[in-house]
Amino acid sequence: MCDYSLQFVVSRPAKVGETLISTRFPRSATRGYASVEDRDVAVCLLPGTELAFEKDVLGEARGVFRSRRECGHKVAQFRQLHMDEPNTHHDALEFPDGQIVLLTELCEGQRAPVMHLPTGSRATIERVRVPETAVL
């Protein structure tokens, strides 16, 4: 859905056909997806959601020397990893060759239309989450 570190960011579920963009959110140490029309709202994905990127996906290697690396694919499925481990990033993309990249390791600014939502997903996340700290 949305990574633990986005708990203080307003969020909503993804919609088929909309174009998402990888971004870093204010008040968060992670990256995730937003709509190209509203980059302040996190767009949450369900496991199995299929994305088709405009270009080969770029990841950012972490560590002392930051560098970009091409994943070699334009399509991916959203996955969640290590859900039993608290306070760690769970949101990831799985590519056709089995390679898995955490969303927080994606380079910012990559656009990807939502091609397919998993069956039954509409009923699974219907509400928009508003953080307790949000000023309405």
Beta-carbon-side half-sphere exposure of residue 8 (alpha carbons within 13 Å): 9
Confidence of residue 67 (pLDDT cuts 50, 70, 90): low
95 three-state secondary structure? coil
Residue-range domain boundaries for the chain: 4-119
**What pLDDT was estimated at residue 124?**
41
Confidence of residue 96 (pLDDT cuts 50, 70, 90): very high
Look up the pTM and report it. 0.78
pLDDT digits (tens, 9 = 90+) for 11-54: 899 999 999 999 988 777 778 899 999 988 999 999 999 999 99
**What pLDDT was estimated at residue 127?**
37
Tokens of residue 69, six digits: 């690396």
Confidence of residue 85 (pLDDT cuts 50, 70, 90): confident
